[in-house]
Amino acid sequence: MSCLSLRFKCSLLSFALVIVFAFPASESCLAQTGFRFLELGAGSRAAAMGDAYTSLASDPTAIYWNPAGLARMEGIKVHVTHSEWLLDVRHEYIGGAMRTGRHAFGGSVSGLFTGSIDRRDDKGRQVGTYGYYDLAATGAYAYAVRPDLWVGGSAKYIREGIDQFAGSGFAVDLGAQWQLPWRGVMAGAALRQLGPGITVNAEESKLPTAFQGGLSVRRPLGASGRAVLVSVEARTSRDSGANVLYGAEYQFPSIASLQMGYQSGMDNNDFSFGTKLSHGMYAFSYAYVPYSDDWGNTHRLSLDIDF
C-alpha cells in the first residue's frame, strides 16, 4: 500500500471525526425531532457493545449501522431481533443480505409497537383506546472498491401512525469501512437518517439525522483461538449532541463471546452487557441495557442464520 493511499484514508477518517465533534458545537444546532425509533439500532451484539458498531458491522444489521459492511459478508445471512423496550414497548427487526463477488444486497423491516393506550376525556375518564406504531422498510447496496475499502448506501420508507393520524416519508443512509494497514484495525463511518421532515397530523418533524465513526481493533490471544475486540466511536445526532461509544468483546473459539459497552454523555443509560452463542449455522445473542431514574431495563434477543 502506498503512503499516498494511507494518507488519503487517514485524512478521510480524521475529517469524519472532526464533523462528529464540530456539528453540535452549540446548543443552537440542536433540534427536536420525530421518529426517534430510528435511533434504537439493530442487533443484540451492537447494543451490548454500547452501539460502537459502525466499524464492525458485517452482517444484516449493517443495513442499519453501516451499509458498507454488507460487502464484507460471506454468502447469505438472516438476522432477527426482538427487543423488550421501556414502558411495555416492543421493537422488532428482521433483515437479510447476500454478497456476490464485489456486490452485496440487503433488506430489512423494523418497527416499534405499543399495546392499547387509554383514551381519556377532559375529566380523566376512559373513553376508549388507541394505538401507536413506527415502521421502516429498507433496501441496501454495498460495493467492495478494493480488498481493503468498502462503501454502501441504503434507502428507507418510514411510516408513523398515532390513533387515526399517520405520516410517511423517505430517508437515506451512507457509509464506508476501511481495513487499515495495521493488523486487525478497522475504521468506519456512517451518515444515517438523512432526509426531509415528515408531517403527521399537520405537524412536521425533522428526522434524527446522525453521524457516527470510529475504530475497532482485534487482537488474538496466543494460539488458543481466543481474541479481544475493542471498539471506540464518536456519534452526533441532530437532537442529542455528541457522545463517545466504547465496546469490548472477549471471543472464545467459534462457540461464544462476551460483550460489554459504555456510552458517555447519555442521561439515562451508560453500561451494557451481552453474550453470543454459536452452533453450526445458528447464533443466539442477548443484550441487557439498564436505565436509571426508574425507567427500567431493556432486553434484546437475536437470532442469526448463516446459509
pLDDT digits (tens, 9 = 90+) for 45-72: 999 999 999 999 999 999 999 999 999 9
Higher pLDDT, 59 or 131: 59
pLDDT band at 116 (very low <50, low <70, confident <90, very high): low
Across 126-132, average pLDDT? 69
**Does residue 206 carry a pLDDT above 60?**
yes
* Per-residue model confidence (pLDDT) at position 28: 37
String of b and e for 284-296 (b: at least 16 CB within 10 Å)?
ebbbbbeeeeeee
Higher pLDDT, 205 or 156: 156
* Per-residue model confidence (pLDDT) at position 17: 41
Handedness of CA 229, 209, 199, 268 (dihedral sign): positive
* Per-residue model confidence (pLDDT) at position 15: 39
Domain that holds residue 93: 3-306
Total structural domains within the chain: 1
Higher pLDDT, 110 or 16: 110
Across 276-285, average pLDDT? 94
Q: Which residue has the cell 430489512?
A: 108
Q: Do 287 and 299 meet the contact criterion of CB atoms below 8 Å apart? A: yes
Write the pLDDT tens digit of every residue in 161-189. Answer: 777 777 888 999 999 999 999 889 999 99
**Does residue 92 carry a pLDDT above 50?**
yes
Q: Which helix (H) or strand (E) holds 282?
A: strand 282-291
CA 161 to chain centre: 23
Q: What is the pTM of this model?
A: 0.83
Burial class (CB in 10 A: 0-12, 13-18, 19+), 176: buried
Q: Do 56 and 68 meet the contact criterion of CB atoms below 8 Å apart? A: no
Mean of all residue pLDDT scores within the chain:
84
* Per-residue model confidence (pLDDT) at position 294: 63
Q: Which of 35-49, 146-160, 190-204, 280-294 has the highest mean pLDDT?
A: 146-160
**Does residue 265 carry a pLDDT above 70?**
yes
Across 20-42, average pLDDT? 58
Higher pLDDT, 272 or 32: 272
Across 90-101, average pLDDT? 94
Name the percent of the chain lying above pLDDT 70. Answer: 82
In the chain, helix, strand, coil percent, each to 5? Answer: 15, 55, 30
Tell me the residue type at 222: G
CATH number at residue 263: 2.40.160.60
The CA–CA distances, whole Å, from 20 to 32, 44, 301 equal 18, 25, 30
Q: Do 149 and 136 meet the contact criterion of CB atoms below 8 Å apart? A: no
- Which DSSP category does 195 fall into? S
